[in-house]
Structure 1
């Protein structure tokens, strides 16, 4: 019921009075809100009830997300690192750490030496099967071209048509030169453009030379004097253009052989120092182990040290053998090889000059000067070969016989050349032709220039072949010294690692 005056009574009036009083009393409402906020402050942020979602910036969310990812990323590694560090500061941890460090050092040293020895063995094999044969092909090219020019000039002097034997020797020399040029090019990489261009120039000029020789022969058969001019032009082309290019090719390939041989026979200082460092680590580790366990010697560590010392001794012996065979021996063999080749070419050119003087019927004064230089060069080359043979314990009596034959032939050639010069100066042309072209020896008569030269050239050719065999033998000895080094060092290193862990095992069991 509503009483008079609009005032309610009973419960309804009481509720209305409470609401009006609450609205009319701001202090009470403020205190209530403060109490609610205090209660909410005690509740975690992610469990509060909100009338509206709080708005946060994207930058703040990104910052919190990056921090969380960083923490999540490094939390587990940090935990593992902390556990490992805590373990390593203990005595068992120190023992395990020493074993791991030793294992890594030994394996690194052994693997490095194994790889270095394997690469050296492979490169020595390439030197023996590719580089040296390429140099020998360049040598054959050089000597064959010079020999062809000498034979062609000598055959041109012979009366009438040259003999079938002379023609066959000339053709064989040209064929051998062309084959040797191809073999030389086969062993050269495509990046070496200069050397390939050098070979191409030689191959392009050889047909020009043979064409001039054939033209000279044709004019000589029909009695045309212009044949002399063609032969002189052919010989000039050979000696001024083709032979210098062939000599340059021979020098380049010979230098490659010497450089590779010198580089591959040096001691392996860096890998060897790694093995020495591994032994030093083993000694230091045994001292640390004695300090921690009060036991002076560890069998496993002693075995590992012995294995590494065996590896060092093996590698040192291999390096010494390679150096002995590849450096000293190779140098002793390569010196006469180069000097004999140069002197043989010089002798062939002197023989050509001698014959050309006969063809042109000119003064032999210039040829005498070159002849004296040639005889001196041949004498020096024979001395070099004889000296190298004196240092070679495997020197054979055959080489000494060939040296004696070469010296005798050189003396006969000098005597025959003096008679040839006298005949030319006195105008005795038939005698000069006989001395320059006759190769048969009449019993009781002195040797002709042609016969003495043929004997000298044959002796020099055999000595060059022996020198090359000696060089290849020294290279083979260097290659043999590297056999099994790679596998043996790696195997010894693995066994040393196993010995380290076996030796450490009893010490670790004391703490289990």
Structure 2
């Protein structure tokens, strides 16, 4: 009977309980440095190194492209779902507070029992302000400045409404002290609440615009890595042609076509997304900022006009405030582009502002003649040529322009996000597919050295 061949003593020793030091000694014994150097310089080693380099480049390019695309799309979706609605809510909060203050002042100018429509306007404005505070309170980070501004307005709102109700009660009873309570309420609104709401909107609008400005620029890093990976594939095929005399390598050609397809997809989708973001910025955020500032100025001017009558001001202070606000309003509306969404509404607002200035002068002339009741009619009366109607025309035109411009803004942001759909996952799939093509292309060459 022939016995089994005896095993190598070194290999038998591996089956025993070896210390790490002893095992390392055995490995060194079987790894001849000369053999390693020969292998490193051999064609199979160079072919393997070439494969590792181009596979790594393709995978890195695909990962960066996928992450960049996914991050851009996620940010745009968050902008559409959170940041932009919060900015719009802040603008509506300011408008509601301003309307409430103007309605409260109008009731006092009317004297005695306030008209029901004025009372309804005040109640609706306060309700809308409370709703905007509630809806916006969950959006910002608890430690963010925006949250502090919201808390400030929310804490002052019940104080303001309490002062207004006290003023109303005294006014209905004919007590002059009611005007003092209204003055205190208006001071609180003008010095604390409206500035906080205005700053809140400015912060959120700036955040929306800043995000859009960042995404106007294409993802250059992802583009660069894809171009580098594609160039490496071309160079690899030239190396195969030079050293292995292979004119065509189907696997490498398919890998090149796959990465080229990803690059083209990335360029087209990135360009479409950047273009839509650019339109959202220049035809949405920028004009929306002008419109919002214009509406705030118009509402401030209306408050100045009514408060002059409420406080029986003879110093000219409120006239100075009114003139300054109206001059800035005309300047802002004049800066609005004629080819921008809502341009015809801005033209209507400018025309109504001119008529409002005429009505305001008529109010002042009547007041200078000692006719307070007549001046009050011009200020809050129902006449089409009176201040109330002209302010309403200005405010309505700007408010509609804001709605139209905001719709343009949101449509372009949505288009920018949709342009990137499926690209994140597609980039990873194509990158992995290209590595498989590379492996299939190099494997036959490696088998030649068996």
Matches within 5 A, 1:418-429: 418-429=361-372
Q: Does 1:128 align with 2:71?
A: no
Aligned to 2:352: 409
Matching residue within 139, 145, 148 for 2:91 = 139
Q: CA deviation at 1:510?
A: 4.2
Question: For each residue in 1:162-200, what CA deviation from the matched residue of structure 2 results, as whole angstroms up to 9, or x when unmatched?
Answer: 1221111111111111121222221011332x3322222
Matching residue within 137, 144, 150 for 1:199 = 150
Confirm or deny: 8 A CA contact 1:322 1:482 kept in the other structure: yes
Give distance in 1, aligned partners of 2:405 and 2:229.
Answer: 43
Distance 1:69 1:159, change over 3 A: closer
Q: CA deviation at 1:70?
A: 2.7
Q: Does 1:169 align with 2:121?
A: yes
Q: Does 1:453 align with 2:404?
A: no
Distance 1:280 1:148, change over 3 A: same
Aligned to 1:102: 54
Give distance in 2, aligned partners of 1:108 and 1:236.
Answer: 61
Aligned to 2:428: 490
Confirm or deny: 8 A CA contact 2:304 2:319 kept in the other structure: no
Distance 1:78 1:405, change over 3 A: farther
Confirm or deny: 8 A CA contact 1:336 1:384 kept in the other structure: no
Aligned to 2:228: 277
Give distance in 1, aligned partners of 2:274 and 2:28.
Answer: 51
Confirm or deny: 8 A CA contact 1:266 1:319 kept in the other structure: no
Q: CA deviation at 1:304?
A: 1.8
Question: For each residue in 1:265-309, what CA deviation from the matched residue of structure 2 results, as whole angstroms up to 9, or x when unmatched?
Answer: 432222222212211211221121112122334333223222212
Give distance in 2, aligned partners of 1:84 and 1:183.
Answer: 69
Give distance in 1, aligned partners of 2:207 and 2:52.
Answer: 45
Matching residue within 317, 337, 347 for 1:386 = 337
Question: For each residue in 1:453-481, what CA deviation from the matched residue of structure 2 results, as whole angstroms up to 9, or x when unmatched?
Answer: 11111111111111211221221122112
Give distance in 1, aligned partners of 2:283 and 2:343.
Answer: 16
Confirm or deny: 8 A CA contact 1:88 1:97 kept in the other structure: no
Aligned to 2:202: 251
Give distance in 2, aligned partners of 1:223 and 1:134.
Answer: 43
Matching residue within 269, 273, 286 for 1:335 = 286
Give distance in 1, aligned partners of 2:304 and 2:52.
Answer: 76
Q: CA deviation at 1:384?
A: 3.8
Aligned to 1:44: none
Confirm or deny: 8 A CA contact 2:205 2:285 kept in the other structure: no
Q: CA deviation at 1:402?
A: 2.3
Distance 1:484 1:81, change over 3 A: farther
Output the TM-score relative to the length of structure 1: 0.79
More divergent stretch after superposition (232-241 vs 378-387)? 378-387
More divergent stretch after superposition (362-371 vs 70-79)? 70-79
Mark the runs of 5 or more structure 2 residues left unpaired by the alignment.
Answer: 1-17
Give distance in 2, aligned partners of 1:303 and 1:191.
Answer: 53
Q: CA deviation at 1:420?
A: 0.8
Matching residue within 405, 409, 412 for 1:471 = 409
Give distance in 1, aligned partners of 2:397 and 2:315.
Answer: 26
Give distance in 1, aligned partners of 2:32 and 2:205.
Answer: 60
Output the TM-score relative to the length of structure 2: 0.89
Confirm or deny: 8 A CA contact 2:111 2:171 kept in the other structure: no
Q: CA deviation at 1:506?
A: 4.1
Matching residue within 178, 183, 192 for 1:241 = 192
Q: CA deviation at 1:401?
A: 4.0
Question: For each residue in 1:326-369, what CA deviation from the matched residue of structure 2 results, as whole angstroms up to 9, or x when unmatched?
Answer: 13531332122112212212211211111121122222733333
Give distance in 2, aligned partners of 1:363 and 1:71.
Answer: 104
Q: Which of structures 1 and 2 has the larger relative contact order (alpha carbons within 8 angstroms, sep 6+)?
A: 2
Confirm or deny: 8 A CA contact 1:150 1:352 kept in the other structure: yes
Distance 1:404 1:355, change over 3 A: same
Aligned to 1:321: 272
Of structures 1 and 2, the larger Rg is shown by 1
Aligned to 1:151: 103
| Equivalent position SS for 1:386 | coil
Paired residues in the alignment total 432
Distance 1:79 1:117, change over 3 A: farther
Distance 1:220 1:122, change over 3 A: same
